[in-house]
Each structure stands twice: as structure tokens, then as C-alpha cells.
Structure 1
Amino acid sequence: MLLSTGAAFLTVIAISQLRLRKRLTAEGKTLGYRMWLFPWLTWGVILFISGVLVLMLFRPDHRIDVLSTPALAIVVVCSGLLITRRRAREGQGAALGQGASG
């Protein structure tokens, strides 16, 4: 499972790099360090890792790893969203309580 999880995280990092770089360029910010062969190398990494994951789906010994990684990611993301919403509600409740007593 470590291989498929690592591959998934590398893909997320590469996609994040593309999005962040686009946003920073649109804002007119200059970057202190430029990645060579950008964006072609980033797209190459995304395609390569995606290809490896697809190949892993066809191998019975890796199939469960590839399929369980997105399931685990969904559980982690949903848990994070629920915790964030609960903390936001608790923060609003505490702010309302302070406003009424102050």
C-alpha cells in the first residue's frame, strides 16, 4: 500500500504545483526558484504515475493497494471536513456567548 499511497501523494503534489504556479503567475508574483522544464516535466510526472497506478490495477497483488488508497483518502478528507465544521460551529457559539455577556 505504501507504493500506491506515495504515488497518489506525488500526483497531488504535482497537480498542486500546477495550480499554485498558475495562481501566482496570474497575481504577477515572481518566483525565487524556477523548476526546469516546467510545466512539461510536471505533466510528465502526472502521466507516468497515473500509468503506473493503472498498471498496478492489473496486478492482483497490487490491486487492493490501489483501490484502498482512494478509499482511505476519502475517509481522511471527510473526517477533516467534519472536524473543521464542528470547530467552526463551536467557535461561532463561543463568540455569540461572549457577545451576549460582554
Structure 2
Amino acid sequence: MRQSIKNRIRTLVIANKITIFIAKLFGMVSKFKDGEFVQLKYDRSKKFFIVSNVIVEGKIQLGYFNPDKGIIEENAYIEPSKLEYSPEEMFRRYEEFKNRPDLWESI
């Protein structure tokens, strides 16, 4: 597929003009979901949250707390291969799984 067509599809996905299904079809969505907490693989002290899981130029948009300004900034772009789930996200997923009502109906 020509690069110009991919760029056009990418801009339409970012502007929410087409569905996420089309983005998944072209492999432009990462395994992380919006709102999940992640950390860098090589520096686990850096914590981020996913703002947009659509891959643009090989990177996804992340947000983080900037202690110097005292605000949350949403302008970090990092490759998904350099990220992993944070322990907080894993604990949240465990609690969510443990408290599912359909697990208790089968007993």
C-alpha cells in the first residue's frame, strides 16, 4: 500500500472520522488500551498513562504528571515496544477480574 494512503487513513483515525476497526485492520492500534497505566521497560520509575493507542509514526500518545509545573501533560510519544504494564495496572486488572459476577454464578 502506498505511503500516502496510509498517512491519509492515519489522519482520519486520529480525527475520529473512521472507526477503530479500520485502524485495527491496518495494524495501527497497539495492544494497550486508552487509560491504562504503563511504565518504561528500562526505567521502571517513569509512569505514564495511555492517551491514544493509535500508532502514529511508530509511536503512541502518552500522558504523565510533570512535577515541575504541577500539571498532567499529554504530549509524550513513545514506541509501544519500549513499554510494559505497571504494577498498579496489573493489580487493577487482577481486582477487576476477581470481582467479576459471572465467576460466582458458576459455583
Name which one, 1 or 2, has greater alpha-carbon Rg. Answer: 1
Fold shared per TM-score above 0.5: no
Between 1 and 2, higher relative CO (CA 8 Å, sep ≥ 6) is seen in: 1
| TM-score normalised by L of structure 1 | 0.30
Structure with the higher fraction of residues in helix conformation: 1
| TM-score normalised by L of structure 2 | 0.29
Structure with the higher fraction of residues in strand conformation: 2
